[in-house]
Structure 1
């Protein structure tokens, strides 16, 4: 999905100027990118062990990546993330020997801080993004470039073919497990007032003590 958030024509940049952003695609017509499909194949061959996404477009699961249970289809700014999912992401980040961040400024918490847990446990951190990020100083390698181009080169070096997406173009395949949760009103927002919100201590309160390491910076060719 070709959607810019920052930059001269980014959504938030235009909104700050009082202008309406223009989109070249929609959530219904968007399809997984080269990077989505590359990540899928890395998971299939056993290289990628855990995927954490902060996107709401669902393209990472539309690519065929193993999915969990769909509970909601709106962006809940005021609701905490599910403890189970966040704990899984936290645990996987601590166990990982390498964390790769793709196309994110790492501004949104708690997902933006999860890669630091990998560093804290002695792992490596690679940041791939066009612009600088808030955690660049912790990276062992920074690559300023388009993630599709970087992933294409990486897969070529690994001699792993990127599969072609052939899935449904407009919607995700339903899962029976969804019926076990609060029903979703696809024509509007369902009433969730009876659902009790739980207070939690987010892992973002942790401030990892990171060792000073030499950083390597490179640019895409």
Structure 2
């Protein structure tokens, strides 16, 4: 069913949430666009300006590592200034009420944690861009340190401890998906009776398989996204409207 207008969508979604025992939000870039963070795939998105740098390219080339970090530093004003939007705050309210035990996200912006959801209950399928990791020893580095070394040395720094390459804690094309997070996302999906896919194009696999897994397991499926998705046919409710406007009704103090 496709909701005919925002008021209808709110009413239908509220009824589904009220009847559900375990709500599982699954979020994509669309929930963060009102926070000033551009998405990746739409016209004007990040990938229309620069083709993504694959993991193999990052490993193989100092020039590619330098370029990856130049791009990340160029986006710092957007990521650094971003604050949770209405959608983030609404999901944090459901979390505090005990309706949603966790959030699965494809996003890398740390805004769910900033909204008040405990970090251990934010399952990041594609990692986090607000800090960096050594790819060899997994030591954490803050972005300020990386930028200072980049400026001082003129190139992306390597780990002082082991010499490994330092990369934002995100999952790049060609990089293995995080096993622990994928297993946790599957377990949460099989536990829920209402799966909310919010702001995701649902084209990036294997993450896009979770809505279908929930549906096959008997959960209701809601897809809230401005544009149609390839999984709309499987949903119990499809809402093509502004995410913050639809979800703000769930925001509580």
The TM-score range, normalised by the shorter chain, is: 0.5 to 0.7
- Gaps (5+ residues) in structure 1? 17-21, 156-160, 164-221
Give the TM-score, by structure 1 length.
0.61
Secondary structure of the structure 2 residue equivalent to 1:28: helix
Q: Which runs of 5+ in 2 are unaligned?
A: 1-34, 52-73, 123-127, 134-167
Instruction: Determine if the alignment matches structure 1 residue 67 to structure 2 residue 104.
Output: no
Q: Does 1:130 align with 2:226?
A: yes
Q: Residues 1-221 of structure 1: matches in 2 within 5 Å? A: 1-2=35-36, 3-15=38-50, 26-68=78-120, 72=133, 73-77=168-172, 78-153=174-249, 155=250, 161-163=251-253
- Distance in 2, matches of 1:117 and 1:4, equals 25
Q: Comparing both structures, which one devotes a greater share of its residues to helix? A: 2
Q: Which has the higher contact order (CA 8 A, sep 6+)?
A: 2
Mapped to 1, the partners of 2:247 and 2:77 lie a distance apart of 22
1:127–1:139 Cα contact (<8 Å) kept: yes
Secondary structure in 2 aligned to 1:89? helix
Map Cα deviations across residues 198-219 of structure 1 (whole Å, 9 max, x no partner). xxxxxxxxxxxxxxxxxxxxxx
Q: How far 1:15 sits from its partner (Å)?
A: 4.8
Aligned residues: 153
By percentage of residues, which structure has more strand? 2
For normalisation by structure 2, the TM-score amounts to: 0.54
